[in-house]
Amino acid sequence: MSEVEQNTEAKTAAKGSRKVRWVVGGILLMIAAAAAMNLPRGYSDDLSRIGKGKAAVVLVRDKDAVQSFDLMEVVNGIRDQYAGRVEFLLTDFNTPEGREFISSKGGARVTLVVLDANGKMLNVLYPPQTAESVQQAIAGVLGVAQ
């Protein structure tokens, strides 16, 4: 094989390698975007916010349980009406923080834990729940009639 043919073959291989890197990079970017879109929105996972002067509703979730998504959907439907008065927090059952929270509050892998402004647990709601049942629990912690 001549030197010219070797150079041409090397250039072709380099172009193909760059193309593969761009394709793999694009696929990874799409996977990252899809993962980001599936993250729950508007929830903090900072459990240190509990007991800081606002009532809190902590969604304990297990991302492998359908009930987690159902419960999150119910909470998402009512969160806006409690803006500024209630902290909506999230912890994952599959993390050390989530398991510690569950053991200290008596929750389970999929629950809503309702706490008062001082961090005292008032209610644990297990799925399935409705918007009305969650609103009643929150009304109880806020001291308003539902």
Express each pLDDT in 99-138 by its tens digit: 999 998 877 889 999 999 999 999 999 999 999 999 999 9
Claim to verify: residue 56 and residue 27 sit in the same structural domain: no
Claim to verify: residue 33 and residue 99 sit in the same structural domain: no
Q: Which strands make up the sheet holding 55-61, listed edge to edge?
A: 86-92, 55-61, 111-115, 121-125
CA–CA dist 55, 51 (Å, integer): 7
Claim to verify: residue 21 and residue 78 sit in the same structural domain: no
Express each pLDDT in 13-36 by its tens digit: 666 677 767 766 777 666 655 554
Claim to verify: residue 132 and residue 95 sit in the same structural domain: yes
Express each pLDDT in 50-96 by its tens digit: 999 999 999 999 988 999 999 999 999 999 999 889 999 999 999 99
CA–CA dist 44, 88 (Å, integer): 7
Q: Could you give the number of structural domains in the chain? A: 2
**Angle 88-93-94 from CA coordinates, rounded to 5°:** 130
Q: What is the pTM of this model?
A: 0.69
CA–CA dist 142, 20 (Å, integer): 57
CA–CA dist 17, 138 (Å, integer): 57
Q: Catalogue the E-assigned strands of the chain.
A: 55-61, 86-92, 111-115, 121-125
CATH of the domain at 105: 3.40.30.10
Claim to verify: residue 58 and residue 29 sit in the same structural domain: no
Parent domain of 70? 47-142
Contacts of 86 (CB under 8 A, 6+ apart): 54, 55, 56, 57, 79, 138, 141, 142
